[in-house]
Every structure is written in structure tokens, then in C-alpha cells.
Amino acid sequence: MNTKVRISIIALVILTGILGTTLTTPAKEPLEPPQYNPYFGDLHAHTRYSDAWEGTPADAYAAAKAAGADFMATSDHSFMLTPEEWEQTLQAAAQYTSDIFVALPGYEFWMPGFGEVNIFNSAASPPSKPGLHGPGVNLPRWSMPGAFYDQLAAQPEAIGLWVHPTDYGDDFDDFAYWTETRDQAMGLLEIHNFGSWSMPYALLDYEASYIKALDQGWHVMPAANSDTHSPDWISGSEVRTVLLAENLSPEDLYRAMHAGRGYATLDKNLMINYTLNGAIMGSVLAQPGSSYVASIQIQDPDDVSSDAITLVEVVSDCGEVVASFSPNSVTVDETIELKSETASYFYLRVTTASNLSGGEGVTAWTAPIWTGR
């Protein structure tokens, strides 16, 4: 969102608990808590370098910037990209990145029978074939997923985003193959795919998949993306992935993606600040407890009644709603106490008076804050 409006989200973050941090010796007593700004963009879109109707990555970045996005990723299918097109994608991203807009080059990797994952910040070139291949290697279906996660985890800077989880019918084998190391490789899950090129958006919410992944132990944030195959980058829908970062730079956005620090919204400028015991969304508390204080601030800058927040729910393990309230206002500022001796995470689900359906419906989901249990 390239406006002057910014909400600084300030939270005491326990540095050793943030998923994906690269700090090996964190400061024991930081002088000031980090300050996070919400940056709005899209992490799943295509150009004619794969199967979009027209346009290049340079066109996509230019259009997204003109439409007011803070960041834009292209994610053309890896097996359709030529080496020359990938190099042009990297060059275009470098050209369009500035202090007011960040272009993120990525690609969508397909494992037949398993699913697709968008990959960012990888040092490896996009693979030229679906599945995992290499010298003397052509892995069978059931060997691919674990090997894929291991390959991604072997690149500490790379980040994976699961996209449209149920397209292959089984939620990436029900999000099996978790290990602590593989957990570091995956940062996001697409909880909403606008699907403007193929199916109506109403069929493309994946909150059940999100809950399943969290219950399997994956530390990921939700993403809402367009998956556009048309030259309508950013302007074609209001869905946004929001990353909480200290600055608008590729490095800080990648850190937010690694940490799972952000939220997904179907309202292009909905602001959400959510902390638990002072820790920002995406954090892992140092020690589990039995009582937690959730601080929740939500604002729709449009300030119109049709965007009123009608329901805020705190969701925990297995999708259980453990607390809720109905503000019926465009602003929310609430502090609530949560009690549980078993919960491993809490995230927010926000309903507004009018979402993409034109009526009341779920509009946003945040990253969890994990209790450390």
C-alpha cells in the first residue's frame, strides 16, 4: 500500500523464539523492541513466461507498483521458464525494487501427484521439469516430498509457500513429513486463492488446510493471493498478503516470510495488530503457560460502515474457537485473557460486514502465536 498511512506495530519480541531467525547469538537485553510496519502485496501471480495470457515480469512489477502495492511477486511455473526468462525476471526485480516498492522474483514448483509450492530467495535456478530430477535421479511419487523439503531446507535463505492446498485432493499428503529442520523451509500457506482465471473465489478458501498444517507442527503464516493469469496484477482483486517487517526491503520481507510474521486479508488495506503476552504474531513464546493476554487492534482506514468488523474470533488447536467478540465497528482495541493448559497456538479470524462475497463473511486470518507447548 503506497500511501503515507502506516501503522507501526511495536511488540516485545523474544528473539530466540522467532521461527526462521538467522541470529546465532541474539542480544539478551535489546534496548528497544523492534518496530514492524504492515506491507501489502501478492505472492502468487503469473506472466506469459509461463501460462498467463500476456505480459512479462517487468510488466507485472510496474503494474503492481502503479496500483499501490508495497510488494509484488511473480511465480511463473518453473518447468515453463527458460534460463533466459529467469534471468530476465531477476533483472526486472532488481530494476523495479526501490525504497517504496519491492519486486520479488519467485517460481511455482510442481510435484506431480503432490502439489505446488512457490519458492522464493533460492540460490538454485528453477528446475526445468516437474518433480525432482538430477544426475541419475528421478524420484518416485512417495519419495519426492521429503526429498523436496530437505533440498529446500539445505538452502537456509530459501522460503516455501504452499499454494492452493487441496488442488491435488489431499492437502500435501495431509502435511506429513514434518521434521524440525524441514519446518524451517516452509514459511507460508495460501489460505485464500482468488482464482480469477479458473474458478470463483468462493471455492478457494483453505482455512481447514491451514489448521491441519498447524496441528501437524508446521510454523507458517497464512497468505491471500490472486494467482492471476491476466494482466491485472494487484488491480484485479483486493486480496493481500501482509508482511510485518521493519523496513520495505527484500531482505526484511524475506525475514518476515521466514518468521511467518503477517496475515492474510481479503480487504486491501485492513490493518491488524495482534500480540500474545507482548509477542507479535509469528512468534513462539519462550515457555508455555496456562494464562495468556491477547492484545488486538484492528482498523479499516476506509472508515465506512460497510467495512465494519462484526466478529473477531481467537482460534486454537484443531480449529477450536476459544474466545470471540462482536465489535460492530471499523476499529477494534481489545485486551482479552485466554486460559489453556494444552493449547499450542492461537490465531485471529476476522469477519466483516462485507467481504468479497458482497455480504458478511470472513475477511482476514493472522499468523498464530505459538505457546511453546
For residue 3, tell me if it sits in a domain. Answer: no
For residue 14, tell me if it sits in a domain. Answer: yes
| 3-state secondary structure labels for all residues of the chain | CCCCCCCCEECCCCHHHCCCCCCCCCCCCCCCCCEEEEEEEECCECCCCCCCCCCCHHHHHHHHHHCCCCEEEEEEEHHHCCHHHHHHHHHHHHHHCCCCCEEEEEEEEEECCCEEEEEECCCCCCCCCCCCEECCEECCHHHHHHHHHHHHHCCCCCEEEECCHHHHCCHHHHHCCCCHHHHCCEEEEEEEECCCCCCCHHHCECHHHHHHHHHCCCCCEEEEECCECCCCCCCCCCCEEEEEECCCCHHHHHHHHHHCCEEEECCCCCEEEEEECCEECCCECCCCCCEEEEEEEEECCCCCHHHCEEEEEEECHHHCEEEEECCCECEEEEEEEEECCCCCEEEEEEEECCCCCCCCEEEEEECCEECCC
For residue 87, tell me if it sits in a domain. Answer: yes
For residue 101, tell me if it sits in a domain. Answer: yes
For residue 139, tell me if it sits in a domain. Answer: yes
For residue 1, tell me if it sits in a domain. Answer: no
Per-residue pLDDT 10s for the chain (373 aa) are 444 333 333 333 322 233 333 333 333 344 455 689 999 999 999 999 998 889 999 999 999 999 999 999 999 999 999 999 999 999 999 999 999 999 999 999 998 889 999 999 998 888 887 776 554 556 778 888 999 999 999 999 999 999 999 888 789 999 999 999 999 999 999 999 887 444 544 446 899 999 999 999 999 999 999 999 999 999 999 999 999 999 999 999 999 999 999 999 999 999 999 999 999 999 999 888 899 999 999 999 987 877 899 999 999 999 999 999 999 999 999 999 999 999 999 999 999 998 877 788 899 999 999 999 8
Identify the CATH number of the domain in which residue 140 sits.
Answer: 3.20.20.140
- Full-model pTM: 0.88
Q: How many domains does the chain have?
A: 1
For residue 250, tell me if it sits in a domain. Answer: yes
Domain limits for position 225: 9-370
For residue 4, tell me if it sits in a domain. Answer: no
